[in-house]
Structure 1
Amino acid sequence: MALYGKQIDGLIDTGATISVLSSKMYLRLPESKRPDLSGKCGQLRVADGKVITPMGMAMFPLEISGKVMRCRMLVADIEIPAVIGYAFMRHNNCVMDVGRGTVEFNGETAKSYLESQRATSVFKLSLDENVVKPASSEMMIPTRIVGDIPVGHEAIINDGSSKLAKIGVLVGKSIFEPTSKVIPVPVANVTGSPQTLYKKTIAAECLVVRACHLKDIDESTDEEDEYLCRMEERPVGDESFPEHMEIIVESSKQHLVDAETKQLKKILKTNEKVFAKNKDDLGKTNLVYHKIDTGNAKPVKQAP
């Protein structure tokens, strides 16, 4: 679906009464397009039981398969870009076809994916057929994705199979589209004898790459040009302010005067390394070591 011409991912959640827009997505909208938020919206309990306070509520024009539908949404600090709740689904005659992977709103059909596909970021490739690798040779071998096909623009081979490495067959890194039925993988036999690779043998571990495509400058609208001009006129200090901390300022400034807001931004900027950009940006250290005694339990993620 799209919001003001920008494509976003949305989770259809029949367990959620109201729809929710990520505060990060809201703050990325040009100021001229951001609807004013109503502050009277209570609190929001998310799936893990945590209670969060939304920034507010407003009506947003969601575009689904080319048709614009108005959706009342809370704006809150959630992990995913948007959640489509039951109220919007019922009002717009939502019909889901899990078998075909489609969802319909007021007769307009759009492609949908299982959450397990969307959540998959690490997956494996297995050989699609038996292959005999000549000695000291390089070639492409056909593989297929093991399990659900992950959703993403592109994926990259992150690690070759340790099983193949033991027989002297190395897997090269490459980028590919996860939606391809057969995925060619570069491999090299570095031994002096032929090696037989068998069908369904795991060839590599891969990672989904969430690619972003920049809009061509010639396609920008007058409102976007105006917004970019305002961005260029900002003081240098504002341009360098971290985007992931804008939500702290936005949720706090209603209780502050202008001078206090500037002081808050200065403090946040000075200590920006303390704030994680996302859940994967928590950092690491080698100053403290932690040991977990697993006894005789075998690894469940990957065999040694």
Structure 2
Amino acid sequence: MGGNSYAHPFLVAEINYDGLLGFDFLKSHRCTVDVHSSVLRLPPESNVCGEGPNYPETRVDLETRKVKVRVVEDVLVQPGHEMILPVQPEESSRQSMIVEPISTFVQKHNLMVCKVIIDGTSERSPLRVMNLGSESKLIRKGTVAAEAEPIVDVWNAETAKLKREPDLVASVASTSADIPISPHLGPMIKGCRNKLSVDQLTEVKKLLSEYDDVFSKSNTDIGKTGVVKHRIETGNQNPIKQSLRRAPMHL
């Protein structure tokens, strides 16, 4: 909150009613909720992150506004099948956005809709749905399928500590850079950079480096194994032998 990290235990629950959560946290750290301005204030003397009493007051904007998410092209969802709906929020955002289904869309089309986090600047985003009924469902272009609201990135305590200690960041980065990684494993590392902490990324590099030889380098380098054998049971049927047939010219 406000660029700072606060360690506090919490429970995750499906709650369908608006309410003020985390009251024990607010009380223990003497927070102030300004309802009129939609602002949460944490006093500098709360010292929840160990910065000391001279750390400035933390101010968090509580106001969020949901926007409608519309389907951008016609999509036919077959019964019992999953599909990806191309969708777009009515208003873009510089932040990531969480997309949640609306009950009217779910009930009307008898679909299961997944919650998803999307890039707020993207013109088209994927929304996964599943047809639970026995009839095909045609989702028309422009249909409001969900609602979206901006979210903020959450820094864990370890990352926040590294952010305040540049020397430690350089030290860990240097250690990670010393681990040799083959070129064909580069895309795996690249895909992990934004999802793992520095220490976790270092452990992944160690693991990939240790088992480098078990990863294929191309589509023609899959290899083979004799550990598992496949057997097709045909019962008491004799083998079938058929003569060759000439393929028709038009094929």
Q: State the TM bucket, normalised to the shorter chain.
A: 0.3 to 0.5
Higher percent of residues as strand? 1
| TM-score relative to the length of structure 1 | 0.34
| TM-score relative to the length of structure 2 | 0.40
Bigger Rg, structure 1 or 2: 2
